Structure 1
């Protein structure tokens, strides 16, 4: 059983009586609940009650504004009382919360915990004013939220499956969801799962939620209500992901108060592309984060699609994002949609029929059903993503100063004021950390975790901590002061690679050969002849197109854009297509052309499309299904290798110079240790060691010889008068 709660307003927890009104609903409730109950086939009115831990006595007085670190509630569900033990969630949002000049928000009333008597139960609750969220009991998922303007603090309780919304699916339209097979090119999952032990214990997702103007207007232009709603949603998301050892940390909310900077009309795919482009150009420079999710307040879905996201794109500046429709007041249901799209970002595919979880359906089910638990298949997908090196930004925990509220030793996460935190004493397996005090185990230790921590000591600066993955990636090095490796940086988008035959984009050299190998592994697939692109992609069908319209029709590529539609390959075994793919083969003027369509769901963009940055002509590259001048890929035109880096380095994705060994950043003018101001020095600083060697091997012997010589002279001069007197 899992329980997740949240709330809306900024008042203290309220004391409730223990009653349950399940079948008779007064006219007052029908009036204030309005549209929500109109969508419900069944629901109950219940009264949660605060319980004082000491003696389990009933507390009938209203609690104060300062929220308890721990609190318990009793709640009747199906005429049975359940006890919820809650503890304040200190990882929900950071102290330096990013939302421009919006009014102050209440972030002290969000809790996680457990349900008494239910093994493996989980609670995520906000108690700002009443309770709102979901409760999963066995195979049933309930939602709970306060009744507006109720003088007796009544709450609405209902099953999410009883919420009658328009038919929506994350899978392919009119296709059985069992055909949505996982797409995992490259190394086999079986071999990857043998390496699970190499994974870090906890992954941290730094999330920014972007609220469009329609949602802002829907909330009566109340900025505080919008931000509170997003903080509440993040608390729910954190609860859903916690069983996978993934923590969701909300680091920002952006609200489009005046108007949307891009259109949210058209197909879901078109809106997603506009959002990630805006995220890259505007949001990332303002607040670097791991995943961005757009909340669209339109009243209906995009032709049956509630959300869409790029699969396995987490940490990507260009594509780590998703869009989600949220046009009503059902926050619990909307949070499961966002959890689903974030799951895609984290490498999770739609669940097969063989995938199981604690509920009747799982979060990554192809059909939206309000599920709140992940399947083992989703966990395996995430493990695969990490082991493929695509989740590097998730490995470092947020800075302790970013975590809200006071520190709590033993929660397994580094809080402000702690040197380390390895969990409870019975859980701790870290020799560098004292679990009782959350301090280092010895006076000689200065770290306990991280790629730059070895035997409880931070390694010297210049020590490699992350090698470059390919010709467009850059290595990172320890800086000598932090136990964690710097973020992952790569060469600036638009730089030529593979002997100027292709261009760097998102840290990869975007060649067609590489894309074919990724799609059709283990086949030795390579790019097909150009005539295959010009023939297939100008047809505008399942296997050759330049995107999809809002009505679901395939877009024919213009002749000049034909290289930017579906990837066309050769040297492929068409009798053994990749999982989840339908493959066709054609012979055009004697050239073999193989292309594919992957059945991953309408909320997932087909991975068989040509990647941005792929070359499509002399000095040109693909971008958004168009063949454009390659200069359009350049993310920072102010940085050039010749001028900015003085020909002794190259520009990284931050517009800074990554200097060659022997030259110092930021501009590679003076002698130094290479690297950049972002990735750390590329050479170990041996100056101290060399100084000590010189001191002990040269200075000390010379000084010793001088001292011995002086002593010899002194002693000889002292003996001479005695010898002379003896002679006399």
Structure 2
């Protein structure tokens, strides 16, 4: 072991007949300074604990001289972790019986465990003619190139780092399995998060463990039923309990229970959702490296990733993380990178761009880790990465001269955007825009209209920022001309209890819909002309009922993924009724309590924080005074420090308006001005013609009289110019040429005969 710096260590590990140098660096981003552990007392009260984590022992790094290698390791009590090199993954852990620091190194692929799946079997997702070809394609092509080469062609999305703020929840059965030792559970979950973070590094995604909730005195939700039922209860509990308590992007439930071979379940593309940003994971043994692959898989679903089965995916090894079977892989495939990119481009991951705040940064400041630590103003990374950064000094992690900011959606060209600049626009009639405040680079938290607010002309309800209605869901799946089928289609198809018509899962099978809940089961549409593909080709069924063609769809995403072909939660299923968990129940469950007339004075709506969002022309917080709209949560829609409007008005009134007035005056008085101009010009012509003119010569027009030089054989004599005498007297006789004086006499004024000019012609009549 070599350690010249507590943040960096290296080890020599003998494995597979060869010595390897493992270089490790402390994972400074793994735990924030305010990492919080929540437990629950016997009476149900919440206990909050912030353990001292400033000197943790979790590292990540690489194997020296092995391209594309990665290591995630804990050095707390011996070495415990995972090494990935040469397209293989190895586990390392200390031998309990050894007294001289011996460790066990083994291939993760050789670990025998209970076969688990995450989704329907691969063979059920393909037609018989496609199975053999797909298997051959997957097993042969994936060995051709290492994963580092396959993912080297990163698009702009993958070039930008993303941050997942993860919160782990441990159920009571798992806590009991760990002998009710909170410290042991905490250390185990930190190990787990470190492994997950090392897997996502290749996608330029960092996983930050922001909190841990241990159900030490019983589970607050029921664990009975299928994985889908438990997942539904968990995300509802999360929205009610966890979201208000601790900011996070995704919550993963770690439970001891097995679901008949199903490793876990999660929603797709919901990482930033308040209501569905979570998953469940069955941890039935103590093999953390293998279990980390399961949690990475379910978190991948939240990040928009679908299963690799039946797709031409490559990851450099036999199976990838997003394979439907829990294989223990540590490699993401090219399909996973594509799926994540699509989610980001479809604005599904806006919460992943917020860099952890300085007060949440772990440990002492470390300039160069791309994380703004305490005492830093910016952090652009290494010297090479900072070469093109115009705002941040690489050596000091301070802003350059004249720069106000270096990152954030409200920062442009190293300056804060003016207050009132839209930083997160509204994307639905139930969504609300957020604005920069002019003094921060970060956009305010996302808010939307309160759940239960009427939309689509009172035909639907707002739910988590979306106006949920059947027609919109049909258009999203079947194209712009599709619309909801009549109620008879929902009642007939969803009473079957099969994959094309059901109300979810029950006892490891499909649940038939009761008549009152039929509108909350499988979505039924008509006027279908096309199908939107969600990463995998869906199965479509057409059911003729009473002369109507009822269309439904099953996307075959696996038993661990809720079906997007189901009616969305929050959809209005009747008068004062709403769909929740496949049940058509009273809309009172949404707790919509906004009295727009009293609270917002009829000039605004209530947002998700139950504050008024005012219309343009009215000021928050209660929309009773004149103002510029918005709310206390959205940021100002206008900033009094911005003088551009004032300057524009000054230019308009003192420059543009006078010029316009002058132009109008000239245009409307142009005839009169033209007559005056012509009359003045004509009078000037008359005056010029009436002036007396003296003609002093009878020849050509007079020229300037230069000094005359007369030369002879001996000298040159300079003669003065000829003097001309003029008089105002005129006579009406022709003029004659004046004879010059003789050259030998002194020049004297020549006598001229004064004659008058020829009379001027009379002016025209």
TM bin, normalised by shorter chain, reads: 0.7 to 0.9
- Partners in 2 of 1:563 and 1:206 — Cα distance? 36
CA deviation vs aligned residue, 1:545-588 (integer Å, no higher than 9, x gap)? 101113x2211101011000000011224799874311111111
Does the 8 Å CA contact 2:272/2:350 hold for their aligned counterparts?
yes
Residue 263 of structure 1 pairs with residue 218 of structure 2: no
* Residue number in structure 2 paired with 1:540: 497
Deviation at 1:124, TM superposition (A): 2.1
Task: Tell me the TM-score normalized by structure 1.
Answer: 0.81
* Residue number in structure 2 paired with 1:563: 519
* Residue number in structure 2 paired with 1:504: 462
Deviation at 1:516, TM superposition (A): 1.2
Does the 8 Å CA contact 1:147/1:155 hold for their aligned counterparts?
yes
Give the 3-state SS of the residue equivalent to 1:605 in structure 2: coil
* Residue number in structure 2 paired with 1:530: 487
- Partners in 2 of 1:481 and 1:199 — Cα distance? 29
Between the two proteins, the alignment pairs up a number of residues equal to 618
* Residue number in structure 2 paired with 1:468: 426
Task: Tell me the TM-score normalized by structure 2.
Answer: 0.77
Does the 8 Å CA contact 1:462/1:479 hold for their aligned counterparts?
yes
* Residue number in structure 1 paired with 2:328: 370
* Residue number in structure 1 paired with 2:509: 553
Q: 1:437 to 1:52 in 2, by over 3 A?
A: closer
* Residue number in structure 2 paired with 1:143: 91
Deviation at 1:665, TM superposition (A): 2.4
Residue 413 of structure 1 pairs with residue 371 of structure 2: yes
Give the 3-state SS of the residue equivalent to 2:599 in structure 1: coil
**Among residues 90, 96, 99, which one is paired with 2:28 in the alignment?**
90
CA deviation vs aligned residue, 1:572-614 (integer Å, no higher than 9, x gap)? 2479987431111111111110111111111111110100111
Does the 8 Å CA contact 2:478/2:532 hold for their aligned counterparts?
no
- Partners in 1 of 2:117 and 2:506 — Cα distance? 18
- Partners in 1 of 2:385 and 2:110 — Cα distance? 40
Q: 1:93 to 1:178 in 2, by over 3 A?
A: farther
* Residue number in structure 2 paired with 1:51: 2
Give the 3-state SS of the residue equivalent to 1:226 in structure 2: helix
Residue 453 of structure 1 pairs with residue 400 of structure 2: no
Does the 8 Å CA contact 2:504/2:521 hold for their aligned counterparts?
yes
* Residue number in structure 2 paired with 1:186: none
Which entry has the higher C-alpha Rg, 1 or 2? 2
CA deviation vs aligned residue, 1:265-305 (integer Å, no higher than 9, x gap)? 2110011001000001111111121100000022xx31211
Residue 609 of structure 1 pairs with residue 566 of structure 2: yes
Q: 1:264 to 1:460 in 2, by over 3 A?
A: same
Give the 3-state SS of the residue equivalent to 1:440 in structure 2: coil
Deviation at 1:195, TM superposition (A): 12
- Partners in 1 of 2:561 and 2:251 — Cα distance? 16
Q: Superposition pairs for residues 14-413 of structure 1, below 5 Å?
A: 50-52=1-3, 68-100=6-38, 101-102=48-49, 104=51, 106=53, 108-148=56-96, 150-173=98-121, 175-176=123-124, 196-197=155-156, 201-298=160-257, 301-352=258-309, 353-413=311-371
Does the 8 Å CA contact 2:444/2:635 hold for their aligned counterparts?
yes
- Partners in 2 of 1:561 and 1:657 — Cα distance? 34
**Among residues 627, 631, 648, which one is paired with 2:588 in the alignment?**
631
- Partners in 2 of 1:89 and 1:145 — Cα distance? 19
* Residue number in structure 2 paired with 1:653: 608
CA deviation vs aligned residue, 1:473-515 (integer Å, no higher than 9, x gap)? 1111001221122222211111111001111112111111111
Give the 3-state SS of the residue equivalent to 2:241 in structure 1: helix
Residue 520 of structure 1 pairs with residue 478 of structure 2: yes
CA deviation vs aligned residue, 1:594-636 (integer Å, no higher than 9, x gap)? 11111111111111010011111112111111111122123x6
Q: 1:200 to 1:415 in 2, by over 3 A?
A: farther
Give the 3-state SS of the residue equivalent to 1:99 in structure 2: strand
Gaps of 5+ in 1: 1-49, 54-66, 182-193, 700-728
- Partners in 2 of 1:177 and 1:370 — Cα distance? 21
Deviation at 1:696, TM superposition (A): 11
Q: Superposition pairs for residues 662-701 of structure 1, below 5 Å?
A: 662-685=617-640
Deviation at 1:411, TM superposition (A): 2.1
Choose between structure 1 and 2 for higher RCO, CA contacts under 8 A separated by at least 6 residues. Answer: 1
Deviation at 1:414, TM superposition (A): 2.0
CA deviation vs aligned residue, 1:171-227 (integer Å, no higher than 9, x gap)? 31473566799xxxxxxxxxxxx9953777111111110010011111111111111
Deviation at 1:688, TM superposition (A): 5.3
CA deviation vs aligned residue, 1:26-60 (integer Å, no higher than 9, x gap)? xxxxxxxxxxxxxxxxxxxxxxxx2356xxxxxxx
Deviation at 1:103, TM superposition (A): 7.3
- Partners in 2 of 1:486 and 1:684 — Cα distance? 15
- Partners in 1 of 2:207 and 2:231 — Cα distance? 22
Gaps of 5+ in 2: 39-47, 132-152, 655-765
- Partners in 2 of 1:532 and 1:338 — Cα distance? 38
Q: 1:509 to 1:327 in 2, by over 3 A?
A: same
